[in-house]
Amino acid sequence: MTRGPDDRKDEENMNFVGIDIGSTASKVSVRGDKEINYVLPTGWSSKETAGTIKEKLLEEGVDVEAEDTKVVATGYGRIAVDYADYVITEITCHARGGREFAGNDCAVIDVGGQDTKVIILEDGMVKDFLMNDKCSAGTGKFLEIMANRLGVTLQELFEMADRGNILSISSLCTVFAESEVINYIGEGKPREDIAAGVVDSVAAKVAQLAQRKDLPEKIILTGGLSKSRYFTAQLSDKLGRTVEPTEMGRYAGAIGAAKLAEEKSRKRR
């Protein structure tokens, strides 16, 4: 299909919106005429969050209902986005986002709020993927619970962990692991050491999942923890492979969704 100059002009005004409604945070990425990225807490209702996103985008001059705006929704709350033009799973969107960060052949490890996934890309396509089972160990939720227990933010947890010596947390279950942490607190162990143990435990579980696949040379981390060099260092250590942090990794799903919106709308022309 050949495109004339008029089409190109149309496309200049188009906006491609990716909305990734996760269990903890919702990420929005707009590409095209406008370039916007922002994140907001998902809250208790994905539907309400989807409404808030719509209003916020309108304030920025992006009307999701407009003919020249294409929306792809993803994440566990994807079906709540009733104004989406397409609904695509977070696996495909994260893979597409990962491609923007690391090229066509890579592995994307995404540590999310309620699940952790490992996606293998080959020639820009998803070749294989794996998600954790119905258990919060090795997810952001685990870190969140432990940070709360230690009375610190996630950011502080990583900073503390960097200064501490790892205390072993052996339980596979978040609830039991929390008891272990409470025990350590009771014994008066330094918070830094407990924090180091918590991060170590998550890194170990994520590595365990990732090891089940043949990983390519290039491996990146996405999701809420993707900027943390401490976490990627721990993960690299466990895997015996380099896992690179990504500056915009939190938006991997949303950016991927926006790219897919663009590709899908091109295909239809």
Q: Which residues bind another protein (CB under 8 A)?
A: 76, 88-92, 115, 125-129, 131, 133-134
Based on its alpha-carbon atoms, the radius of gyration of the chain, rounded to whole angstroms, reads: 20
**Apex CA 42: angle with CA 251 and CA 232, to 5°?**
40
> Which runs of consecutive H residues, i.e. helices, occur in the chain?
5-12, 46-59, 90-102, 140-150, 154-163, 174-186, 191-210, 229-239, 252-268
CB of 76 to another protein, least distance (A): 7
The smaller minimum CB distance to another protein, of residues 76 and 158, is found at: 76
Q: In this complex, which beta carbon is closest to another protein, that of residue 17 or of residue 88?
A: 88
Task: Quote the CA–CA distance of 90 and 85 in Å, as a whole number.
Answer: 16
Which residue, 125 or 182, has its beta carbon nearer to another protein?
Answer: 125
Report the alpha-carbon distance of residue 98 to residue 70 in Å, rounded: 21
User: Which residue, chain included where needed, has tokens 């432990």?
Assistant: 146
For residue 259, the minimal CB distance to another protein (Å) is 14
State which residue, 52 or 89, has the beta carbon closest to another protein: 89
Between 199 and 260, name the residue whose CB sits nearer to another protein: 260
CB 19 within 8 A of CB 254: yes
Q: How far is the CB of 166 from another protein (least distance, A)?
A: 30
The CB-of-17 to another protein minimum distance in angstroms stands at: 19
Measured from the CB of residue 140, what is the shortest distance to another protein in angstroms? 16
